[in-house]
Structure 1
Amino acid sequence: MKTRRAVTEALADTALDLFDSRGFDQVTVADVVAAAGISQRSFFRYFSNKEDVVFGDHIPSAEEVRDELLRHIDDVPAWDALRATFRTAALQMDADEGRWKRATRVICHTPGLRARYLEKHLAWTDALTPEIASRIGGGGPGGSGGPDTSSGPEGSNGSDTSGSSGSSDAELRAHTMINTALGCFDVALVRWADDDTGLSLAALVDDVFGFVRFPRP
């Protein structure tokens, strides 16, 4: 007899195949259960809706991402700690490559799913910001491995930040660094989802993060 986990994964595989080939919005729950050979009632024992099939419990929670960051943040500069954090996520996704590639393609081609994925980004940012801000501080170019905000007399974005408090400046710089890291991860993820050369997501994350330089003190 199959375990609940095995049934859930088999059903998700069937659904993701349909979403990937036909488009998420074009596939109904009725289509999924017909392909899987189960009833709609059985489907809803495992998933609340179609969106849960795509996201499931595989995407790390904000708490899990923060805990991973904390494993690195006191040993290396903040940017390197973020790189290590997202590389760990990439390794986990590499271990289930087929499912993650399909799920990523489905998310990328479905506006409603992209919005839900963005909500995950916002939650991760909220969880990571205090940890990064407390390490990089508010003064001097780069803080503890932070971004250089001294490219001009009014700061890197052209606005006068001389009146900002140290804590608010550190938070702004932390937000900048975290959202840059999320952007790097997404660039690697989208490239990986469409790649058929066998390149791992972890390797792509290393490459893309390597394109960005945050000056160290």
Structure 2
Amino acid sequence: MRENTAPGLRMKTRRAVTEALADTALDLFDSRGFDQVTVADVVAAAGISQRSFFRYFSNKEDVVFGDRIPSAEEVRDELLRHIDDAPAWDALRATFRTAALQMDADEGRWKRATRVICHTPGLRARYLEKHLAWTDALTPEIASRIGGDGPNGSGGPDAELRAHTMINTALGCFDVALVRWADGGTDLSLAALVDDVFGFVRFPHA
């Protein structure tokens, strides 16, 4: 029985240490600025060695991103849960609202990570790379479901252009809500903000 439970306990311990170390680093990044904090600063605050730090993270950037940012495949899979039962724009809103609910559940850590990303040009660029990957993954799914100049009013280059426009608008809406939430400019949850911001935009016949 001990052999069956030990790996699970070790995994839980590793996750707990990883999260505690990330919290210490994010506090420093948020208060001092990401570029002003070194790995040496983080390990001194955490009371561990640099060797121990690199057991959990390959670099400072991984502390901020870790496995927090969904992959393109995960975002596409979430969209597919909604796209058959709702117009494309509503399906995008539901997709990003799901992400917002997950972030609301870990509010403190996500708000700090978001502020650090938004206030650090290098991290912001890496985050935008994620946007591009999401757009590439979502475009075929949206384009196949909205009108265009292909057969029966669907598909074709016009549908792809409209899909790109819609997806990038959705990403912009999500970012507006995310920054407002992270900077403390509202008492609303991120999910509620996403609903509000997406509600400002309408895509006819989508």
- With normalisation by structure 1, the TM-score equals 0.85
Distance in 1 between residues matched to 2:45 and 2:187, nearest whole Å: 29
Partner of 1:194: 183
Instruction: After TM superposition, give the deviation of residue 139 of structure 1 in Å.
Output: 3.8
CA contact (8 A) 1:104 1:193 kept: yes
Distance in 1 between residues matched to 2:126 and 2:111, nearest whole Å: 17
Partner of 1:119: 129
Instruction: After TM superposition, give the deviation of residue 145 of structure 1 in Å.
Output: 13
Instruction: After TM superposition, give the deviation of residue 212 of structure 1 in Å.
Output: 0.2
CA contact (8 A) 1:147 1:215 kept: no
CA contact (8 A) 2:148 2:157 kept: no
* Structure number with higher helix proportion: 2
Q: Tell me the alpha carbon deviations over residues 172-207 of structure 1, each in whole angstroms, 9 at most, x when there is no partner.
A: 110000000000000000000012653100000000
Distance in 1 between residues matched to 2:72 and 2:13, nearest whole Å: 28
Pair 1:204–1:65, CA change in 2 (3 A): same
Pair 1:212–1:196, CA change in 2 (3 A): closer
Q: State the Cα RMSD in Å.
A: 2.7
SS of the residue corresponding to residue 69 of structure 1 reads helix
Pair 1:183–1:30, CA change in 2 (3 A): same
SS of the residue corresponding to residue 72 of structure 1 reads coil
Pair 1:147–1:81, CA change in 2 (3 A): farther
Pair 1:97–1:39, CA change in 2 (3 A): same
Pair 1:133–1:197, CA change in 2 (3 A): closer
Instruction: After TM superposition, give the deviation of residue 37 of structure 1 in Å.
Output: 0.2
Instruction: After TM superposition, give the deviation of residue 143 of structure 1 in Å.
Output: 7.0
Pair 1:143–1:77, CA change in 2 (3 A): farther
SS of the residue corresponding to residue 3 of structure 1 reads helix
Q: How many pairs align?
A: 196
Distance in 2 between residues matched to 1:146 and 1:184, nearest whole Å: 26
Q: Tell me the alpha carbon deviations over residues 88-138 of structure 1, each in whole angstroms, 9 at most, x when there is no partner.
A: 000000000000000010011100000000000000000000000010131
Instruction: Specify every segment of 5 or more residues in structure 2 that has no aligned partner in the other structure, as ranges.
Output: 1-10
Distance in 1 between residues matched to 2:89 and 2:12, nearest whole Å: 44
CA contact (8 A) 2:144 2:155 kept: no
Instruction: After TM superposition, give the deviation of residue 2 of structure 1 in Å.
Output: 6.5
Pair 1:203–1:41, CA change in 2 (3 A): same
Instruction: After TM superposition, give the deviation of residue 23 of structure 1 in Å.
Output: 0.1
Instruction: Specify every segment of 5 or more residues in structure 1 that has no aligned partner in the other structure, as ranges.
Output: 149-169
Moved more, 37-46 or 195-204: 195-204
Pair 1:46–1:210, CA change in 2 (3 A): same
CA contact (8 A) 2:147 2:154 kept: yes
User: Once the two structures are aligned, what percentage of the paired residues are identical?
Assistant: 95
Match of 2:144 among 122, 134, 137: 134
CA contact (8 A) 2:149 2:157 kept: no
Runs of 4+ aligned structure 1 residues displaced above 3 Å come to 139-148
SS of the residue corresponding to residue 120 of structure 1 reads helix
CA contact (8 A) 1:66 1:124 kept: yes
Pair 1:188–1:79, CA change in 2 (3 A): same
- With normalisation by structure 2, the TM-score equals 0.89
